[in-house]
Structure 1
Amino acid sequence: MRQAILALLFGLAAVAGATASRAAETPDGYTYFSVGDVSAPRPGGTEPAMMLMGGGDWDYDAFRWFLGKAGNGHIVILRASGDGEAGEEIYRDIGGAASVQTLLFDDRKAAQDPRVLAILEQADGIFLAGGDQAKYVRFWKDTPIETALNAHVARGRPIGGTSAGLAILGGAGYGAMDDGSVDSEAALKDPMGPEVTMVRDFLAMPYLAHVVTDTHFSARDRLGRLIAFVAQTRATDDPAAVGLGVDEDGALCVEADGIGRFHTASSGYVWLVQPEGAPQAVLGQPLDYAAVRVTTMGVDGEIDLKTMTITRPAFSGTASVQAGRLLDAPTGQ
C-alpha cells in the first residue's frame, strides 16, 4: 500500500538502486525536491526521538543516530528558505536514508495541499530546517501541517529541528513575529514588550510542554534573552516554564525515555535555565529576577527532560537580573 501511494503521488518507479536526484518541482505554494528511492521499503523500525540542534554545522554522528531512529527510511525536510541541498548532504554525505524529500514553503496555502500532507504522513523522520521561524508560524500554525507534525510524533516517529526549526518545538517559542531577531539587551530591557513575540499552542513535543528553546546560544550571547523569554512565559502563561539553549554545531539527541545526550561538531554546551519563582516583569519596564539557576552540559553529561536535571554538568551557577542587567552569569572559566 505504501509503495502504491508513493508511486501514484510522485510517478516514480520502484527501480532497484535508484539514487538520482529528482529535479525541483514548483507546485502552488511550495517547491519539491527529492533524492533516493521514495518507494523503497524502510529497512528498519521507527522509534520516538528528538534531535534538537543549535544551528551551524551538523554533527554527522547525531544525524546518523536520528536516521537510525527513523529506521534508515524516508526523511522529509520542511523549510521556508534555501533549496534541496541539505537533502543531498543527508543522503550522499551522511548516508543511511532510503530517500530524502524537501518541501520548501513559500505560502500558507501549501499547508492544505493533499500531496504535502501525504508526504508527511508517510515520513519516517521529519527535520525542520533553519531560517525564519516567523514563516513557519505563519505558514503552519493552525493548519493541517501543525496537525500532521503532532500526529507524526504521536505515532512514535522521530523529529528534529535546527535553529529556526528548533525554536518552534518548545511549548512556548520565540516566533520573531516582528520580522526581527531580538538580542539579549533589548529583551531584558522590556521582556513583555513588542519585540519579545512568544508563540504558544503550536507543536506538542514530548517533554517540552514547559520548555522554551533557543539556539546559536553562546555564539550570539543569548542567555539574557532566553531568561527574558522564560520570564514572559512564566508571567503570562506557564509558571513552570524553563529554558533550554543549544550551542552552535551541537545537537541534543533525546531518547524515548526523555534522556538526552549532547553531540557536537566542534565544542559547546546545552544550557538549562531554571529561574526561581515568578519574575518582576511589567510591560515597558526592565526585567528583575532575583535568582536564575543555569546548568550546562557537554558531551560527558546527560539531561533528563522528565525531571529537568543534568548529571555530570560542565559548570553551573546562579545568575540574577537587576533593572534589565544580567549579573553573575556562569561562564565555566
Structure 2
Amino acid sequence: MSAARDARRVCFLAVVALLLTLAPIDVTAANAQVSRVRQGNASDVSRAGWAGPAYTMNGSGGIVVPTMTRAIDAIRGGSGSIDVVVVAGSGTGTPECDVITPLVGVNSCTTLTLTAARDGDDSRVNTDVRNAEFVYFAGGDQCDYVAWKGTALEASVESVVSKGGGVGGGSAGHHVNSDIVYDACTASATSSTALADPYDRSMTFTTGMFRWPHYAGTVNDSHFVARDRMGRSMAFVARAVKDGLAPGGRAWAVGVEEGASLYLDRNGLATLSGPSAHVVLGDHQPEVAVPGRPLTYTNFKIWKLTNGQTYDFANRPSCGYYLRSVRAGVPDGNLYSGTPVTDCSTPPSDGSSHAEVEPNDSRSAADDISRLTWPVALSGDMKSDSDRDYFAFTLAAGETFTANCAIPDAYDADLYLLSSTGSTLTRSVNDGAGADEAVTLTRTASGSATYYLDLEAYAGSGDTDWTCTVRRS
C-alpha cells in the first residue's frame, strides 16, 4: 500500500508541474476586482524625459494603428520604447494590447480590468499607470469610467500626460477623455429623444475629470454617423452652453465615426485617420432649451473632416464650417455634410429664421432670439383668441430695434414691446383682421438690457402663420 500511495503522489505532482508549465505567468490579480495581464517585457523602461503629450480619440473601441503609431513615435521622440496601459471597466481578453504590443517602440502593454469604483485606488493599478507612457481607455460603459473621478487613478492618468506621455480611448474611452463627459449613467440617449427634450433623463454629464491641454469645452461622441448621433451631439452642445458647463459660453462636440481616429499632437492639432469626424460648435445661447420642451437652436457651425484633414484645437478656426439648425426638435436635412463657409472675414449676413416654440405665452417662457443672426424672420400663429407669443432679446446702448409683422386675414393681433419688468414701452394696435403691426425703439440708456416682443390675439384665431421681421441697427 505504501508503494501505491507513493506512485499516486508522484503522478499528482507531475500533473501539477505540467499545469504550472502551461499556465500564463503574466496573468495576475491585484485584488478580487482587478485583473492584470502584461504582455511584452516584464520590466518598465526608465528614461528622464518624454516628448509628448499625444492623444488618440477613436470612434469605436478598437485600436487604429496609424494614430497609435503616431502617438508612440511622438512620445518617445523617435527613439527608445514606451510602456502602455489599457484600462477597461469590463470584459475579458486583451484585444487592445494584442494590437499594440507588436508595434515598433512598445516595450510592454498591460491590460487592467477594473470592476468597481474603489479599484481606482488600487495601489498596483496606480503603480502600473504611473510607470506607463500611454494610457488607453477601452470601449465599454463610460459610466463605469466616471466613477473613478476623484480616485487616485484620475491623478495617475494626469501624471502620465504631465511627464510627456499620452492618453487615448475608443467608444466609451473616447467619451471619458473630453472636457465634458456624456456619461450615460441613466440611459443611452438617441438623437430623437435628445432633440425632443434636451433634459431627458438620459442626458447626464460629468465634468471636472480630465481637462487636456487645448481640448477645453469639448464633449466627445462616438459611432457618430453609423448610429446617427449628430442630433444628440447638438443637444449635448446646447446643454453645455445653457448650463454653463463650457467656459466662455461656447461648446464643441467632437463626433468620430466607427473605425476613425483623431490624433492630437502636443500643439493641439488634430489629424483624422479613417472615414470621418465632425466638430460641432455652439457659440450662442439656445433659443429654447428647457425641460420637457423640444430643442430650438439655430446655426450650429459644423466642420466635417475626412481622412488626412486637420482641425486646430489650439487655434480654433472661424471658417470652414457649414450651418445647420434645430427648430422645435426638428433638425435641418443633410446634417452630415454641407457647403462650407470659406470667407473668414465676415460672418453670413443674410439673417436667420425662427418659428415660435409653444408654450411661449409669458415672459418667463419667451423664446430667446438674442443670439440669432439678425435680421430674424419670426413666424407663428394664434391658435386661440387668448394666445400670446413672447420673444426675448437684448439691446445695447444706442441700438434701434424694429419689428414689422404681417398678420393674416384669419385674425386680428396686436404688437407690444415690453421692458425687462413687463412694462409696455410702445405698441401697435391697428384695428381689423389682417391689419399689419409695427413697432420701433431706440435704447438711450447706457449698457444693455433685455426686452420682450409680445404679439397677442385680439379677435379670432387660426392656423395661418403671422410673420415678423425684426432688426437691430
SS of 2:106 mapped into structure 1: coil
Amino acid aligned to 1:248: E
Q: Which residue of 1 aligns with 2:469?
A: none
What do residues 104-157 of structure 1 show as CA deviations (whole Å, max 9, x unaligned)? 00112211111111111111111111110011112x111111111222222221
Q: 2:141 aligns with which of 121, 132, 137?
A: 132
Deviation at 1:310, TM superposition (A): 8.5
Amino acid aligned to 2:84: I
TM-score, normalising length: structure 2: 0.61
Does the Cα contact within 8 Å between 1:271 and 1:297 map onto a contact in 2?
A: yes
| Ranges in structure 1 where 5+ consecutive residues have no aligned partner | 1-19
When the two structures are aligned, how many residues end up with a matched partner?
A: 305
Deviation at 1:283, TM superposition (A): 0.9
Does the Cα contact within 8 Å between 2:230 and 2:336 map onto a contact in 1?
A: no
Which structure exhibits the higher relative contact order, with contacts defined as CA atoms closer than 8 Å and separated by 6 or more residues? 1
Deviation at 1:40, TM superposition (A): 4.9
TM-score, normalising length: structure 1: 0.86
Percent pairwise identity:
27
Does the Cα contact within 8 Å between 1:297 and 1:310 map onto a contact in 2?
A: no
Q: 1:111 aligns with which of 89, 114, 120?
A: 120
Q: Which residue of 1 aligns with 2:184?
A: 176
Q: Which residue of 2 aligns with 1:226?
A: 233
The answer to whether 1:23 aligns with 2:38 is no
Q: Distance in 2 between matches of 1:290 and 1:240?
A: 14
Q: Which residue of 2 aligns with 1:271?
A: 278
CA RMSD of aligned residues (A): 2.1
The answer to whether 1:48 aligns with 2:31 is no
Structure having the higher strand fraction is 2
Residues 300 and 88 (structure 1), Cα distance of their counterparts in 2 relative to 1, 3 Å cut: closer
Q: Distance in 1 between matches of 2:41 and 2:322?
A: 50
Q: Which residue of 1 aligns with 2:172?
A: 164
Q: 2:333 aligns with which of 321, 328, 331?
A: 328
Amino acid aligned to 2:179: G
Amino acid aligned to 1:322: R
Residues 109 and 56 (structure 1), Cα distance of their counterparts in 2 relative to 1, 3 Å cut: closer
Does the Cα contact within 8 Å between 2:60 and 2:222 map onto a contact in 1?
A: yes
Deviation at 1:275, TM superposition (A): 2.3
Q: Distance in 1 between matches of 2:30 and 2:132?
A: 20
Q: 1:88 aligns with which of 86, 90, 98?
A: 98
| Ranges in structure 2 where 5+ consecutive residues have no aligned partner | 1-23, 339-473
Structure having the higher helix fraction is 1
Amino acid aligned to 2:88: R
Q: Distance in 2 between matches of 1:24 and 1:181?
A: 34
- Structure 1 residues 25-34 or 111-120, which shifts more? 25-34
Q: Distance in 2 between matches of 1:254 and 1:290?
A: 29
SS of 1:55 mapped into structure 2: coil
Q: Which residue of 2 aligns with 1:79?
A: 88
Q: Which residue of 1 aligns with 2:214?
A: 207
Which structure has the larger Rg? 2
Q: Distance in 2 between matches of 1:40 and 1:155?
A: 15
The answer to whether 1:66 aligns with 2:71 is yes
What do residues 168-200 of structure 1 show as CA deviations (whole Å, max 9, x unaligned)? 11111100010x211100011111232101111
Q: Distance in 2 between matches of 1:61 and 1:171?
A: 24
Q: Distance in 2 between matches of 1:247 and 1:319?
A: 19
Does the Cα contact within 8 Å between 1:182 and 1:196 map onto a contact in 2?
A: yes
